[in-house]
Protein backbone atom coordinates (compact mmCIF):
# COMPACT_ATOMS: atom_id res chain seq x y z
CA UNK A 1 0.00 0.00 0.00
CA UNK A 2 3.03 2.31 -0.13
CA UNK A 3 4.42 4.67 2.47
CA UNK A 4 2.26 4.68 5.60
CA UNK A 5 2.51 8.43 6.25
CA UNK A 6 1.61 9.40 2.70
CA UNK A 7 -1.21 6.88 2.73
CA UNK A 8 -2.91 8.44 5.75
CA UNK A 9 -2.29 11.95 4.42
CA UNK A 10 -3.56 11.42 0.90
CA UNK A 11 -5.68 8.30 0.43
CA UNK A 12 -9.40 8.77 0.11
CA UNK A 13 -12.27 6.94 1.76
CA UNK A 14 -13.10 5.35 -1.58
CA UNK A 15 -9.52 4.12 -2.07
CA UNK A 16 -9.34 2.63 1.43
CA UNK A 17 -12.75 0.98 0.99
CA UNK A 18 -11.69 -0.68 -2.28
CA UNK A 19 -8.37 -1.84 -0.83
CA UNK A 20 -10.12 -3.38 2.19
CA UNK A 21 -12.84 -4.96 0.06
CA UNK A 22 -10.28 -6.54 -2.26
CA UNK A 23 -8.18 -7.81 0.62
CA UNK A 24 -5.14 -5.68 -0.30
CA UNK A 25 -5.04 -4.38 3.25
CA UNK A 26 -6.92 -5.21 6.43
CA UNK A 27 -9.20 -2.81 8.24
CA UNK A 28 -7.04 -3.44 11.29
CA UNK A 29 -3.96 -2.16 9.45
CA UNK A 30 -5.80 0.88 8.09
CA UNK A 31 -7.17 1.84 11.50
CA UNK A 32 -3.79 1.17 13.14
CA UNK A 33 -2.02 3.48 10.69
CA UNK A 34 -4.41 6.31 11.49
CA UNK A 35 -4.07 5.68 15.22
CA UNK A 36 -0.28 5.87 14.81
CA UNK A 37 -0.70 9.27 13.16
CA UNK A 38 -2.91 10.41 16.04
CA UNK A 39 -0.30 9.19 18.51
CA UNK A 40 2.42 11.05 16.62
CA UNK A 41 0.77 14.44 16.21
CA UNK A 42 -2.41 14.89 18.26
CA UNK A 43 -0.96 15.65 21.70
CA UNK A 44 2.67 14.88 20.88
CA UNK A 45 4.56 16.07 17.81
CA UNK A 46 2.77 18.99 16.18
CA UNK A 47 0.14 19.01 18.96
CA UNK A 48 -2.81 19.44 16.59
CA UNK A 49 -5.32 18.36 19.28
CA UNK A 50 -7.97 17.50 16.73
CA UNK A 51 -9.06 14.33 18.54
CA UNK A 52 -10.61 14.80 21.96
CA UNK A 53 -10.93 11.05 22.59
CA UNK A 54 -9.84 7.89 20.77
CA UNK A 55 -12.26 4.98 20.60
CA UNK A 56 -10.64 2.28 22.77
CA UNK A 57 -12.53 -0.37 20.78
CA UNK A 58 -11.52 0.92 17.35
CA UNK A 59 -9.04 -1.89 16.72
CA UNK A 60 -11.54 -4.48 17.96
CA UNK A 61 -14.16 -3.05 15.60
CA UNK A 62 -11.64 -3.19 12.75
CA UNK A 63 -10.88 -6.85 13.50
CA UNK A 64 -14.60 -7.59 13.51
CA UNK A 65 -14.98 -5.94 10.10
CA UNK A 66 -12.06 -8.07 8.85
CA UNK A 67 -13.70 -11.27 10.08
CA UNK A 68 -16.94 -10.28 8.38
CA UNK A 69 -15.15 -9.58 5.10
CA UNK A 70 -13.28 -12.87 5.24
CA UNK A 71 -16.60 -14.67 5.66
CA UNK A 72 -17.98 -12.89 2.59
CA UNK A 73 -20.09 -10.28 4.36
CA UNK A 74 -19.70 -6.54 3.71
CA UNK A 75 -21.86 -4.14 5.69
CA UNK A 76 -21.74 -1.37 3.11
CA UNK A 77 -19.58 1.09 1.19
CA UNK A 78 -17.59 2.16 4.27
CA UNK A 79 -16.74 -1.36 5.46
CA UNK A 80 -13.68 -1.16 7.71
CA UNK A 81 -12.88 2.50 6.97
CA UNK A 82 -12.02 4.78 9.94
CA UNK A 83 -14.12 7.94 10.42
CA UNK A 84 -13.98 10.71 13.05
CA UNK A 85 -17.19 12.21 14.45
CA UNK A 86 -17.52 15.55 16.19
CA UNK A 87 -17.87 15.41 19.96
CA UNK A 88 -21.46 16.64 19.90
CA UNK A 89 -22.76 13.45 18.22
CA UNK A 90 -23.91 10.69 20.54
CA UNK A 91 -21.99 7.42 20.36
CA UNK A 92 -23.29 4.46 22.36
CA UNK A 93 -19.86 3.09 23.24
CA UNK A 94 -17.01 3.76 25.66
CA UNK A 95 -16.51 7.29 24.34
CA UNK A 96 -18.04 10.36 25.96
CA UNK A 97 -20.23 12.97 24.28
CA UNK A 98 -19.49 16.36 25.82
CA UNK A 99 -19.48 19.16 23.20
CA UNK A 100 -16.03 19.89 24.62
CA UNK A 101 -17.47 20.87 28.00
CA UNK A 102 -16.08 19.69 31.34
CA UNK A 103 -19.61 19.97 32.72
CA UNK A 104 -20.62 16.95 30.62
CA UNK A 105 -17.48 14.92 31.36
CA UNK A 106 -18.49 11.31 31.88
CA UNK A 107 -21.65 11.49 29.75
CA UNK A 108 -21.97 8.34 27.63
CA UNK A 109 -25.01 8.21 25.40
CA UNK A 110 -27.46 5.32 25.59
CA UNK A 111 -27.81 5.09 21.80
CA UNK A 112 -25.99 6.27 18.71
CA UNK A 113 -27.04 9.44 16.97
CA UNK A 114 -28.88 8.49 13.79
CA UNK A 115 -25.89 9.69 11.73
CA UNK A 116 -23.55 7.45 13.73
CA UNK A 117 -25.96 4.51 13.44
CA UNK A 118 -25.94 4.89 9.68
CA UNK A 119 -22.14 5.07 9.56
CA UNK A 120 -21.80 1.88 11.58
CA UNK A 121 -24.45 0.14 9.46
CA UNK A 122 -22.36 0.99 6.39
CA UNK A 123 -19.31 -0.60 8.02
CA UNK A 124 -17.41 2.46 9.22
CA UNK A 125 -15.13 2.23 12.24
CA UNK A 126 -15.60 5.27 14.49
CA UNK A 127 -11.94 5.85 15.33
CA UNK A 128 -12.52 8.74 17.73
CA UNK A 129 -14.36 11.92 18.64
CA UNK A 130 -13.17 15.23 17.20
CA UNK A 131 -12.53 18.32 19.29
CA UNK A 132 -14.64 21.40 18.58
CA UNK A 133 -15.14 24.97 19.59
CA UNK A 134 -16.88 24.35 22.92
CA UNK A 135 -20.66 23.98 22.78
CA UNK A 136 -20.34 24.39 19.00
CA UNK A 137 -19.17 27.99 19.54
CA UNK A 138 -22.29 29.03 21.41
CA UNK A 139 -20.78 29.54 24.87
CA UNK A 140 -18.74 32.72 24.58
CA UNK A 141 -18.69 35.74 22.30
CA UNK A 142 -14.88 35.75 22.00
CA UNK A 143 -13.75 32.12 22.22
CA UNK A 144 -11.12 31.25 19.58
CA UNK A 145 -12.03 28.68 16.96
CA UNK A 146 -11.00 25.18 17.99
CA UNK A 147 -10.84 25.73 21.76
CA UNK A 148 -12.73 23.67 24.31
CA UNK A 149 -12.13 23.39 28.03
CA UNK A 150 -12.04 19.61 27.75
CA UNK A 151 -10.01 19.25 24.56
CA UNK A 152 -7.73 22.27 24.55
CA UNK A 153 -6.81 24.27 21.45
CA UNK A 154 -7.04 22.59 18.04
CA UNK A 155 -4.46 23.87 15.56
CA UNK A 156 -4.51 24.15 11.78
CA UNK A 157 -1.93 21.66 10.40
CA UNK A 158 -1.27 23.99 7.44
CA UNK A 159 0.06 26.62 9.82
CA UNK A 160 -0.14 25.68 13.50
CA UNK A 161 -0.51 28.86 15.53
CA UNK A 162 -0.48 31.00 12.35
CA UNK A 163 -3.66 30.14 10.46
CA UNK A 164 -7.13 30.01 12.00
CA UNK A 165 -8.36 26.42 12.21
CA UNK A 166 -11.99 27.43 11.60
CA UNK A 167 -14.93 26.32 13.65
CA UNK A 168 -16.88 24.98 15.23
CA UNK A 169 -16.10 21.60 13.61
CA UNK A 170 -12.43 22.41 14.10
CA UNK A 171 -11.20 18.95 15.05
CA UNK A 172 -13.16 17.34 12.24
CA UNK A 173 -11.36 19.58 9.75
CA UNK A 174 -7.88 19.52 11.27
CA UNK A 175 -8.12 15.78 11.94
CA UNK A 176 -8.77 14.88 8.31
CA UNK A 177 -6.10 17.32 7.08
CA UNK A 178 -3.56 15.89 9.55
CA UNK A 179 -4.18 12.27 8.55
CA UNK A 180 -6.04 11.19 11.68
CA UNK A 181 -8.89 9.82 9.53
CA UNK A 182 -9.75 10.04 5.83
CA UNK A 183 -13.10 11.68 6.61
CA UNK A 184 -15.10 13.13 9.47
CA UNK A 185 -18.58 14.26 10.38
CA UNK A 186 -19.05 17.88 11.38
CA UNK A 187 -22.13 19.86 12.32
CA UNK A 188 -23.24 23.32 11.26
CA UNK A 189 -25.64 25.91 12.55
CA UNK A 190 -24.02 28.74 10.58
CA UNK A 191 -20.61 28.15 9.01
CA UNK A 192 -19.38 25.41 11.31
CA UNK A 193 -18.68 22.92 8.49
CA UNK A 194 -17.81 25.38 5.72
CA UNK A 195 -15.39 27.41 7.85
CA UNK A 196 -13.06 24.60 9.03
CA UNK A 197 -13.32 22.81 5.68
CA UNK A 198 -12.09 25.94 3.88
CA UNK A 199 -9.41 26.59 6.50
CA UNK A 200 -8.04 23.04 6.28
CA UNK A 201 -8.19 22.64 2.48
CA UNK A 202 -11.03 20.12 2.57
CA UNK A 203 -14.38 19.49 0.96
CA UNK A 204 -17.21 20.24 3.36
CA UNK A 205 -20.89 19.76 2.60
CA UNK A 206 -23.56 21.52 4.65
CA UNK A 207 -26.70 19.72 3.43
CA UNK A 208 -30.25 20.97 3.08
CA UNK A 209 -31.90 21.00 6.50
CA UNK A 210 -33.72 17.68 6.88
CA UNK A 211 -31.51 15.78 4.46
CA UNK A 212 -29.67 14.35 7.50
CA UNK A 213 -31.25 13.47 10.85
CA UNK A 214 -30.51 15.78 13.78
CA UNK A 215 -31.38 13.17 16.40
CA UNK A 216 -28.67 12.47 18.94
CA UNK A 217 -26.74 15.69 18.29
CA UNK A 218 -26.22 18.20 21.10
CA UNK A 219 -28.22 21.12 19.67
CA UNK A 220 -28.07 24.86 19.27
CA UNK A 221 -31.17 25.70 17.22
CA UNK A 222 -33.82 23.43 15.77
CA UNK A 223 -34.22 25.72 12.77
CA UNK A 224 -30.62 25.53 11.55
CA UNK A 225 -28.69 22.54 12.97
CA UNK A 226 -27.46 19.83 10.63
CA UNK A 227 -24.62 17.34 10.34
CA UNK A 228 -22.53 16.88 7.22
CA UNK A 229 -19.37 15.26 5.83
CA UNK A 230 -15.85 16.68 5.71
CA UNK A 231 -13.37 14.89 3.45
CA UNK A 232 -10.47 15.33 1.03
CA UNK A 233 -12.51 14.92 -2.15
CA UNK A 234 -15.98 15.68 -3.42
CA UNK A 235 -16.39 12.00 -4.19
CA UNK A 236 -15.77 11.07 -0.57
CA UNK A 237 -18.17 13.74 0.71
CA UNK A 238 -20.85 12.46 -1.67
CA UNK A 239 -20.14 8.87 -0.61
CA UNK A 240 -20.63 9.78 3.05
CA UNK A 241 -23.81 11.68 2.19
CA UNK A 242 -25.15 8.59 0.44
CA UNK A 243 -24.76 6.84 3.79
CA UNK A 244 -25.91 9.43 6.34
CA UNK A 245 -28.79 11.03 4.39
CA UNK A 246 -32.21 9.51 4.86
CA UNK A 247 -35.43 9.47 6.84
CA UNK A 248 -35.71 9.30 10.59
CA UNK A 249 -39.24 8.89 12.01
CA UNK A 250 -38.00 10.59 15.19
CA UNK A 251 -36.88 13.78 13.40
CA UNK A 252 -39.69 15.83 11.89
CA UNK A 253 -37.30 17.75 9.61
CA UNK A 254 -36.65 14.55 7.63
CA UNK A 255 -40.27 13.62 7.07
CA UNK A 256 -41.55 13.79 3.52
CA UNK A 257 -38.14 14.60 2.03
CA UNK A 258 -37.33 13.01 -1.35
CA UNK A 259 -33.81 11.71 -0.91
CA UNK A 260 -31.47 11.13 -3.83
CA UNK A 261 -30.73 7.47 -4.47
CA UNK A 262 -27.21 6.31 -3.62
CA UNK A 263 -26.35 6.10 -7.32
CA UNK A 264 -27.39 9.76 -7.71
CA UNK A 265 -24.92 10.85 -5.05
CA UNK A 266 -22.18 8.85 -6.72
CA UNK A 267 -22.96 9.92 -10.32
CA UNK A 268 -20.12 12.44 -10.45
CA UNK A 269 -18.65 13.04 -13.88
CA UNK A 270 -16.63 15.70 -15.65
CA UNK A 271 -18.50 18.30 -17.67
CA UNK A 272 -21.08 19.41 -15.10
CA UNK A 273 -19.87 23.04 -15.31
CA UNK A 274 -20.33 23.20 -19.08
CA UNK A 275 -23.20 25.63 -19.58
CA UNK A 276 -23.81 26.05 -15.83
CA UNK A 277 -24.63 29.55 -14.60
CA UNK A 278 -22.76 30.60 -11.45
CA UNK A 279 -23.65 33.84 -9.70
CA UNK A 280 -21.13 35.89 -7.73
CA UNK A 281 -22.86 38.11 -5.14
CA UNK A 282 -20.93 41.36 -5.26
CA UNK A 283 -21.73 42.47 -1.70
CA UNK A 284 -19.94 39.39 -0.36
CA UNK A 285 -16.65 40.40 -1.99
CA UNK A 286 -16.22 43.26 0.45
CA UNK A 287 -13.64 42.78 3.16
CA UNK A 288 -11.88 39.80 1.60
CA UNK A 289 -8.11 40.01 2.22
CA UNK A 290 -6.22 40.79 -0.98
CA UNK A 291 -4.29 37.51 -1.06
CA UNK A 292 -7.46 35.44 -0.63
CA UNK A 293 -9.27 37.59 -3.20
CA UNK A 294 -6.59 36.75 -5.77
CA UNK A 295 -7.13 33.03 -5.20
CA UNK A 296 -10.91 33.45 -5.45
CA UNK A 297 -10.67 35.52 -8.64
CA UNK A 298 -8.54 32.80 -10.17
CA UNK A 299 -11.16 30.23 -9.14
CA UNK A 300 -13.85 32.24 -10.90
CA UNK A 301 -11.68 32.32 -14.03
CA UNK A 302 -11.25 28.57 -13.79
CA UNK A 303 -15.02 28.11 -13.60
CA UNK A 304 -15.32 30.12 -16.78
CA UNK A 305 -12.61 28.09 -18.51
CA UNK A 306 -14.58 24.95 -17.63
CA UNK A 307 -17.60 26.25 -19.52
CA UNK A 308 -19.58 27.99 -16.79
CA UNK A 309 -21.15 31.41 -17.25
CA UNK A 310 -19.90 33.42 -14.26
CA UNK A 311 -22.32 36.27 -13.60
CA UNK A 312 -22.06 39.18 -11.17
CA UNK A 313 -25.30 39.39 -9.19
CA UNK A 314 -26.87 41.35 -6.39
CA UNK A 315 -27.63 39.43 -3.19
CA UNK A 316 -28.13 41.76 -0.21
CA UNK A 317 -25.70 41.06 2.63
CA UNK A 318 -28.24 41.11 5.41
CA UNK A 319 -27.46 41.04 9.12
CA UNK A 320 -29.62 38.14 10.24
CA UNK A 321 -31.10 38.11 13.70
CA UNK A 322 -28.98 36.24 16.25
CA UNK A 323 -32.00 36.35 18.55
CA UNK A 324 -33.58 33.38 16.77
CA UNK A 325 -30.69 31.13 17.80
CA UNK A 326 -30.60 32.58 21.32
CA UNK A 327 -34.33 31.96 21.68
CA UNK A 328 -34.27 28.36 20.46
CA UNK A 329 -31.12 27.31 22.30
CA UNK A 330 -32.46 26.90 25.88
CA UNK A 331 -35.41 24.77 24.74
CA UNK A 332 -33.23 22.62 22.49
CA UNK A 333 -30.43 22.13 25.01
CA UNK A 334 -32.75 21.52 27.96
CA UNK A 335 -34.54 18.80 25.98
CA UNK A 336 -31.20 17.09 25.31
CA UNK A 337 -29.89 17.44 28.87
CA UNK A 338 -33.11 16.00 30.27
CA UNK A 339 -32.02 12.65 28.81
CA UNK A 340 -28.48 12.44 30.23
CA UNK A 341 -27.48 10.24 33.16
CA UNK A 342 -29.17 11.24 36.44
CA UNK A 343 -25.86 11.30 38.31
CA UNK A 344 -24.42 14.04 36.07
CA UNK A 345 -24.40 17.52 37.66
CA UNK A 346 -26.15 19.21 34.70
CA UNK A 347 -29.68 18.69 33.40
CA UNK A 348 -30.47 22.17 32.08
CA UNK A 349 -28.77 25.24 30.70
CA UNK A 350 -28.97 26.80 34.15
CA UNK A 351 -27.21 23.80 35.66
CA UNK A 352 -24.39 24.08 33.13
CA UNK A 353 -23.95 27.78 33.84
CA UNK A 354 -23.86 27.18 37.58
CA UNK A 355 -21.35 24.33 37.21
CA UNK A 356 -19.17 26.48 34.95
CA UNK A 357 -19.23 29.32 37.47
CA UNK A 358 -18.21 26.97 40.28
CA UNK A 359 -15.30 25.67 38.17
CA UNK A 360 -14.51 28.91 36.37
CA UNK A 361 -10.74 28.46 36.48
CA UNK A 362 -11.00 25.39 34.24
CA UNK A 363 -14.34 25.88 32.50
CA UNK A 364 -14.67 29.60 31.78
CA UNK A 365 -11.43 30.78 30.25
CA UNK A 366 -13.46 32.88 27.82
CA UNK A 367 -16.61 33.40 29.87
CA UNK A 368 -20.17 32.33 29.00
CA UNK A 369 -21.77 35.51 27.71
CA UNK A 370 -23.89 33.73 25.06
CA UNK A 371 -25.23 31.27 27.64
CA UNK A 372 -26.11 34.19 29.93
CA UNK A 373 -28.01 35.96 27.17
CA UNK A 374 -29.97 32.83 26.30
CA UNK A 375 -30.76 32.02 29.93
CA UNK A 376 -32.01 35.54 30.60
CA UNK A 377 -34.64 35.18 27.88
CA UNK A 378 -35.62 31.56 28.40
CA UNK A 379 -39.00 32.03 30.11
CA UNK A 380 -40.93 33.88 27.43
CA UNK A 381 -38.85 34.37 24.31
CA UNK A 382 -40.25 31.52 22.20
CA UNK A 383 -43.79 32.68 22.84
CA UNK A 384 -43.45 36.37 22.15
CA UNK A 385 -43.91 38.16 18.89
CA UNK A 386 -40.27 39.18 18.55
CA UNK A 387 -39.06 35.59 18.10
CA UNK A 388 -41.89 34.59 15.76
CA UNK A 389 -41.48 37.69 13.60
CA UNK A 390 -37.69 37.28 13.50
CA UNK A 391 -37.95 33.62 12.47
CA UNK A 392 -40.43 34.33 9.69
CA UNK A 393 -38.40 37.34 8.54
CA UNK A 394 -35.23 35.21 8.41
CA UNK A 395 -36.96 32.64 6.21
CA UNK A 396 -38.47 35.24 3.90
CA UNK A 397 -35.27 37.27 3.48
CA UNK A 398 -33.02 34.24 3.04
CA UNK A 399 -35.32 32.23 0.76
CA UNK A 400 -37.86 33.95 -1.48
CA UNK A 401 -36.36 37.45 -1.13
CA UNK A 402 -32.80 36.13 -0.98
CA UNK A 403 -31.24 33.05 -2.53
CA UNK A 404 -34.27 31.93 -4.54
CA UNK A 405 -34.87 35.43 -5.89
CA UNK A 406 -31.35 35.86 -7.24
CA UNK A 407 -31.21 32.32 -8.61
CA UNK A 408 -34.45 32.90 -10.51
CA UNK A 409 -33.58 36.40 -11.71
CA UNK A 410 -30.36 35.23 -13.39
CA UNK A 411 -31.37 31.59 -14.06
CA UNK A 412 -28.46 30.41 -11.88
CA UNK A 413 -27.44 26.92 -10.86
CA UNK A 414 -25.52 28.12 -7.81
CA UNK A 415 -23.92 31.09 -6.05
CA UNK A 416 -20.15 31.30 -5.48
CA UNK A 417 -18.49 32.62 -2.32
CA UNK A 418 -14.94 32.68 -0.99
CA UNK A 419 -14.41 30.37 2.01
CA UNK A 420 -17.54 30.49 4.19
CA UNK A 421 -18.58 34.11 3.50
CA UNK A 422 -22.11 33.20 2.41
CA UNK A 423 -22.82 30.77 5.22
CA UNK A 424 -25.33 32.86 7.18
CA UNK A 425 -27.93 33.33 4.47
CA UNK A 426 -27.77 29.64 3.47
CA UNK A 427 -28.03 28.59 7.12
CA UNK A 428 -31.09 30.75 7.72
CA UNK A 429 -32.74 29.33 4.59
CA UNK A 430 -31.77 25.75 5.45
CA UNK A 431 -30.19 25.51 1.99
CA UNK A 432 -27.11 23.45 1.00
CA UNK A 433 -23.54 24.63 0.43
CA UNK A 434 -20.37 22.82 -0.54
CA UNK A 435 -16.83 24.14 -0.20
CA UNK A 436 -13.94 22.78 -2.26
CA UNK A 437 -10.21 23.66 -2.17
CA UNK A 438 -9.47 26.58 -4.51
CA UNK A 439 -5.76 26.97 -3.79
CA UNK A 440 -3.47 28.76 -1.37
CA UNK A 441 -2.20 32.26 -0.70
CA UNK A 442 1.49 33.12 -1.03
CA UNK A 443 1.81 32.24 2.66
CA UNK A 444 0.34 28.78 1.88
CA UNK A 445 -2.94 29.53 3.66
CA UNK A 446 -5.80 27.41 2.26
CA UNK A 447 -8.67 29.15 0.45
CA UNK A 448 -11.98 27.51 -0.39
CA UNK A 449 -14.56 28.02 -3.14
CA UNK A 450 -18.09 27.60 -1.78
CA UNK A 451 -21.13 26.92 -3.96
CA UNK A 452 -24.64 27.46 -2.56
CA UNK A 453 -27.94 26.42 -4.10
CA UNK A 454 -31.63 26.19 -3.37
CA UNK A 455 -33.33 23.51 -1.25
CA UNK A 456 -32.42 19.92 -2.17
CA UNK A 457 -29.85 20.94 -4.78
CA UNK A 458 -27.21 19.01 -2.81
CA UNK A 459 -26.45 16.52 -5.60
CA UNK A 460 -26.21 19.27 -8.23
CA UNK A 461 -23.74 21.16 -6.03
CA UNK A 462 -21.65 17.99 -5.66
CA UNK A 463 -21.60 17.59 -9.44
CA UNK A 464 -20.46 21.18 -10.02
CA UNK A 465 -17.83 20.99 -7.26
CA UNK A 466 -16.56 17.64 -8.57
CA UNK A 467 -16.00 19.04 -12.05
CA UNK A 468 -14.06 21.99 -10.62
CA UNK A 469 -12.03 19.78 -8.28
CA UNK A 470 -11.07 17.26 -10.95
CA UNK A 471 -10.06 19.94 -13.45
CA UNK A 472 -7.96 22.03 -11.03
CA UNK A 473 -6.67 19.47 -8.49
CA UNK A 474 -5.68 22.27 -6.12
CA UNK A 475 -5.58 20.37 -2.85
CA UNK A 476 -2.26 19.31 -1.38
CA UNK A 477 -1.68 17.86 2.10
CA UNK A 478 0.01 19.88 4.84
CA UNK A 479 3.67 19.25 5.63
CA UNK A 480 3.54 17.03 8.71
pLDDT at 3 over 70: no
Region 64-75: what's the mean pLDDT?
A: 98
Predicted local distance difference test score (pLDDT) of residue 380: 61
168 labelled catalytic: yes
Q: pLDDT (tens digit, 9 = 90+) per residue, 225-279?
A: 999 999 999 999 999 999 999 999 999 999 999 899 999 999 999 999 999 999 9
pLDDT recorded at residue 320? 77
d(CA 216, CA 263): 27
pLDDT digits (tens, 9 = 90+) for 361-404: 999 999 999 999 999 887 667 888 889 999 999 999 999 999 99
Confidence of residue 2 (pLDDT cuts 50, 70, 90): low
Q: How many Cα atoms within 13 Å fall on the side-chain side of residue 53?
A: 26
Kindly report the backbone phi and psi dihedral angles of residue 121, in degrees, each rounded to the nearest multiple of 5, phi listed first: -65, -30
What pLDDT, in 10s, does the model give residues 152-204? 999 999 999 999 999 999 999 999 999 999 999 999 999 999 999 999 999 99
> What pLDDT is recorded for position 379?
66
Catalytic (active site) residue 192: yes
The catalytically annotated residue of 11, 26, 27, 86 is: 86
Whether residue 4 has pLDDT greater than 80: no
**Percentage of residues in the chain with pLDDT exceeding 90?**
94
Marked catalytic residue, from 101, 169, 190, 192: 192
3-state SS class at 11: coil
For the chain, the structural domain boundaries read: 4-254+261-266
Nearest to 186 by CA among 227, 154, 151: 227
Determine which of 288-292, 346-350, 375-379, 410-414 has the lowest per-residue pLDDT on average.
Answer: 375-379
Q: Is residue 142 scored above 60 in pLDDT?
A: yes
CB atoms within 10 A of CB 340: 18
Sequence-ordered list of residues with C-beta below 8 angstroms from that of 367, at least 6 positions apart, any chain:
140, 141, 142
Please report, rounded to a whole number, the percentage of residues in the chain having pLDDT higher than 70: 98
In angstroms, what is the C-alpha Rg of the chain?
A: 21
Task: Write the class of the CATH domain 4-254+261-266.
Answer: alpha beta
What is the band of 319 on the pLDDT scale with cuts at 50, 70, 90? confident
Q: Do 182 and 239 touch, CB atoms closer than 8 A?
A: no
The predicted structure's pLDDT at residue 240: 98
Indicate the average pLDDT of the chain: 96
172 belongs to the catalytic site: no
What value does the mean pLDDT take over residues 77-100?
98
Q: How far is Cα 235 from Cα 462, in angstroms, rounded to an integer?
A: 8
Nearest to 339 by CA among 104, 102, 100: 104
Reported as a pLDDT band with limits 50, 70 and 90, residue 450 is very high
Taking residue 269's Cβ as centre, other Cβ atoms within 10 Å add up to 9
What is the mean pLDDT of the segment spanning 428-455? 98
Q: Which of 26, 148, 149, 168 is catalytic?
A: 168
* pLDDT (0 to 100) of residue 86: 99
Amino acid sequence: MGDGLMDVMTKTVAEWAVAIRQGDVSSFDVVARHLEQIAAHNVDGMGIRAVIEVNPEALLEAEARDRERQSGFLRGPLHGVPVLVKDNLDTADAMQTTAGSLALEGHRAREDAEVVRRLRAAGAVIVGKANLTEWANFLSDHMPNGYSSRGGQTLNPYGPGRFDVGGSSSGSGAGVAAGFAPAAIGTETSGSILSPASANSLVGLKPTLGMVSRRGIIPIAMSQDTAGPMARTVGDAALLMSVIAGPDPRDVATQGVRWPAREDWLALRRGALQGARIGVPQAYLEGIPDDERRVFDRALSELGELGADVIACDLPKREFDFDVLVAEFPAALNAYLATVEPWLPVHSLGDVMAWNAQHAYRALRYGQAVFERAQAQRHHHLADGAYIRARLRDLRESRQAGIDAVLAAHRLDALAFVNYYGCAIAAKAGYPSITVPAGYTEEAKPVGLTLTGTAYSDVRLCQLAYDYEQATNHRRPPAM
